[in-house]
Structure 1
Amino acid sequence: MPLKLYKKRYEDIIHSDLIDRKKNLKLIQLMMDMESAFSIPMIKNEAWNERNKDVIQFFQQVSNSRRL
């Protein structure tokens, strides 16, 4: 799935009327789907991050949007 479709999912979640807890669950699922689709390493990997700037920047945006 192209990154733009993950961004669309993100926007749909953020702008939904769901309560924060449900948004968080959906954001976590989005992050897990991205980890799988883009083979995002579990441990910080600067070389991978450099090659995949757009993916890692968006992944961090999703992570920062969660309400803990």
Structure 2
Amino acid sequence: MDELQIALAGLGLSWAEVWALRADRRAGTLVVVAADGRKFTATLVTPGPAPLRRVRAIKEIKPQPEPNADQE
């Protein structure tokens, strides 16, 4: 849990702001959906022992605009 809390802090989020979270320790990935709808994906790295995992790369996933049903 400490690792996740550190990773969330790296994303600029707290537990109270998390709506959904998926972490894959083996792949080193973290996907977070914030309560306000923002989506983040992060790559975790291990510079030393596993408990010292840190967020290496953060990418906010922008929602794609839905196609306009009026256009044909």
Which TM-score applies when normalising by structure 1?
0.27
| Bigger share in strand | 2
Which TM-score applies when normalising by structure 2?
0.26
RCO greater where, 1 or 2, for CA within 8 Å and sep 6 or more? 1
| Bigger share in helix | 1
Give the greater-gyration-radius structure (CA): 2
